[in-house]
């Protein structure tokens, strides 16, 4: 029975063009990240990299399947999203440079044993990574208007319940934990320092996003007064 259900789900996914598009992007990402980690490491025996890739792609596939059945329109928007504003294009470009640099340094750190973090740090970071993924999934469940680009959508409403009742940008809260845990999973303190660049990057993005939402989304100014914190309760 379980095998039949799994085969049925697989058949539906393979018949869906949106799922094939998502699968292609996931495979391309898997190959790209693998090359950025294993080539600098000079070996495939970089266990931290395998752990990270498993933690990244297995939940990603499950989340993609969930979105395919629960909210295909949201999945489509996130797959095809492209920034329109030049400021946000720079944010995306800088984020890409940050990731590439952090991955290459992590691989080289493993290869030359510059500063390998203890295994317990890796497992703590792995736990935080999974928790942030769960938070990410909850944000997607709560906000059907969630988009990778900064825009106000047709019929969009302010979400002020759940995680959005705690901080205004729970997605960035999730990605902050997610991204900062990555170099720790990879065992590289140097990469962690590099990934700290994400903090000013999302600060610029959030400031721009809030400006757009204040101008185009009814009720957002009142929401800002109601929920004071952007990312971390009582801190930020």
Question: How does pLDDT run across 74-131, given as a tens digit for each residue?
Answer: 555 555 556 666 667 788 889 999 999 999 999 999 999 999 999 999 999 999 999 9
How wide is the angle at C-alpha 80 spanned by C-alphas 13 and 29, nearest 5°? 70
User: Please, are residues 105 and 37 in contact by the beta-carbon 8 Å criterion?
Assistant: no
* Chain centre distance of CA 180: 11
Q: What is the pLDDT of residue 61?
A: 76
Structural domain includes residue 108: yes
Place of tokens 């492209």: 82
Averaged pLDDT score across all residues of the chain: 83
| pLDDT-derived band at 32, boundaries 50, 70, 90 | very high
DSSP tag of 164: G
Confidence band, pLDDT 50/70/90 cuts, at residue 185: very high
Domain hosting 30: range is 11-226
With 0-12 CB in 10 A as exposed, 13-18 as middle and 19+ as buried, what is 174? buried
Does 2 map to a domain?
Answer: no
Q: Could you tell me the pTM of the whole model?
A: 0.83
pLDDT tens digits along 164-184: 999 999 999 999 999 999 999
Q: What local confidence, expressed as pLDDT, does residue 110 receive?
A: 96
Contacts of 216 (CB under 8 A, 6+ apart): 152
- 191 found inside a domain: yes
Residue at 1 is within a domain:
no
CATH code assigned at 202: 1.20.120.1630
């Amino acid at each position: 029975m379980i095998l039949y259900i799994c085969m049925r789900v697989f058949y539906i996914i393979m018949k869906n063009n949106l799922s094939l598009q998502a699968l292609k992007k996931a495979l391309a990402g898997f190959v790209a990240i693998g090359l950025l980690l294993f080539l600098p490491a000079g070996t495939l025996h970089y266990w931290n990299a395998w752990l990270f890739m498993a933690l990244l792609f297995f939940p990603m596939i499950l989340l993609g399947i969930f979105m395919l059945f629960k909210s295909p329109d949201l999945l489509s928007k996130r797959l095809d999203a492209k920034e329109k504003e030049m400021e946000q294009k720079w944010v995306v470009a800088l984020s890409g440079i940050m990731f590439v640099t952090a991955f290459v340094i992590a691989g080289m750190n493993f290869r030359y044993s510059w500063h390998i973090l203890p295994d317990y740090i890796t497992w703590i970071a792995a736990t935080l990574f999974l928790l942030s993924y769960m938070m990410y999934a909850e944000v997607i469940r709560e906000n059907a208007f969630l988009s990778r680009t900064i825009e106000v959508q047709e019929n969009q409403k302010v979400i002020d319940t759940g995680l959005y009742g705690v901080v205004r940008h729970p997605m960035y809260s999730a990605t902050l934990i997610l991204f900062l845990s990555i170099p720790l999973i990879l065992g590289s303190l140097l990469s962690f320092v590099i990934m700290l660049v994400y903090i000013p990057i999302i600060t610029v993005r959030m400031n721009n996003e809030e400006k757009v939402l204040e101008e185009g989304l009814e009720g957002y100014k009142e929401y800002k007064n109601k929920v004071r914190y952007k990312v971390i309760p009582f801190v930020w």
